[in-house]
Amino acid sequence: MALFGSKTVIGLDIGSSTVKAVELEPHGGSYRLRAFGFASLPPEAIVQGSFMNAPAISAAISEACSMGSFKSKDVVTSVSGHSVIVKRISLPAQSKEELEETIRWEAEQYIPFDINEVNIDHQILRETGVDGQMDVLLVAAKKDLIDDYHSVITEAGLTLVVMDVDAFAVGNMYQHNYEPSEDSTVALLDIGASVINMNVMNGSVPVFTRDITSGGNQYTEEIQKTLGITFEEAERIKIGGRPGEASKDVVPQEVEEAMREVSETMLGEIQRSLDFYRATASSSRIERLLLCGGAARVPGLDRIFHDKLEIAVDIADPFQRVEIASSAGDEDRLRELGPALCTAIGLGMRQGDDK
């Protein structure tokens, strides 16, 4: 991680409901948040990871960056979903130069797309072991997906310099803020509006990633349907805000029941993914879950997860080792939004030589 790169970047998290942008600067061996901006996206601008309304997405990116008064025009963003493949593979030990030559051929065995339709990258996780094998993290993303991101960012007057993966961006935030020991195993759950990105980290190494098609919008929609209120009103209730005039007569039990049903469904999906990890991992014990994303703020969600999964659960704090400058905005508000900014903060740490 290049903490002292002289050039900053914009960490841009393009979610299915909001665009969040941050700019970090080196500060005392760590980082300081100097600028922050966000903008809402219209409904169905992004559907299942596909850009359905590119002009609206570009406009939201411009709005978020105008709000933040960013110095940089260079953007680091990230992708996830069915067009992105992440595999941890074992290969015969070889030099980095040899791996560069063979990785494309190796990748063909693991990627369910035409190899000519994807961009491929890799990272060596473990050099030669006693078994004569090396562990490599293989990542592939469909070129048309990358092109979509490049297009909306360019249209907003910015330059895309790095494309990351959502789960790895959150892992970057975790690694810097929590400084995990090598023998710790933590599951990071980034609960967005429509997708949950799971990343199991052994120390600072990702050992299992999975995207789950579920998210915070399901809470909002269930509350909306149960109480007959607007989506915006239901969104405020979901994160514990005060209901407006239209919902003064809300019965708390109704809200609790609606949210409990969504949590049960979500937990079932998470449990299946954790069970799959445990069945395939040599060291399968997960010490705790760290909840990220906007839906991490749903009241009592951490308690529900703890009770059902019997694992310690915490809500992520991306500002544990990141200072907030006065130029970034209201510190209390930013700390409140913290879990929703984990991806953007992790992307904003990609600066200097790290690009």
Task: Indicate if 39 and 91 belong to the same structural domain.
Answer: no
Instruction: Tell whether the model's pLDDT for residue 252 goes beyond 70.
Output: no
Query: Does 104 share its domain with 252?
Result: no
pLDDT in tens, 284-331: 789 999 999 988 988 888 998 999 889 999 999 999 999 999 999 999
Q: Which residue did the predictor score with more confidence, 255 or 95?
A: 95
The domain spanning residue 246 has which CATH number?
A: 3.30.420.40
Beta strands in the chain (DSSP E): 10-14, 18-27, 30-40, 46-47, 50-51, 74-79, 84-92, 118-126, 133-142, 159-165, 185-191, 196-202, 205-212, 288-292, 312-315, 322-324
Say whether 84 sits in a helix, a strand or coil. strand
Q: Which residue is it, tokens 């992790």? A: 346
Q: How confident is the model at residue 247 (pLDDT cuts 50, 70, 90)?
A: very low
Q: What is the mean pLDDT of residues 240-244?
A: 51
Same domain? For 348 and 239 the reply is no
Higher-confidence position of 251 and 82: 82
Given this model, what pLDDT does residue 281 score? 79
> What domain range is 245 assigned to?
180-316
Q: How many domains does the chain have?
A: 3
- 94 and 111 in a single domain? The answer is yes
Residues 252 and 132 in one domain: no
For residues 10 and 149, state if they share a domain: yes
| pLDDT given for residue 352 in this prediction | 44
Q: Give yes or no: residues 59 and 129 share one domain.
A: no
Give residue 353's pLDDT: 42
Query: Does 216 share its domain with 299?
Result: yes
Helix (H) or strand (E) holding 146: helix 143-155
Task: List pLDDT tens digits, range 17-61.
Answer: 899 999 999 888 889 999 999 999 998 899 888 899 999 999 999
115 shares a domain with 92: yes
Residue 134 maps to which CATH number?
Answer: 3.30.1490.300
Q: What is the mean pLDDT of residues 331-340?
A: 95
Query: Which runs of E-coded beta strand occur in 183-275?
Result: 185-191, 196-202, 205-212
- Does one domain contain both 172 and 191? no
336 shares its domain with 217: no
pLDDT per position as a tens digit, 102-146: 898 888 988 889 999 999 999 988 876 667 888 899 999 999 999
Whether residue 149 sits in one domain with residue 15:
yes
What pTM, to 2 d.p., does this model score? 0.90
Closest CA to 58 of 186, 185, 169, 148: 148
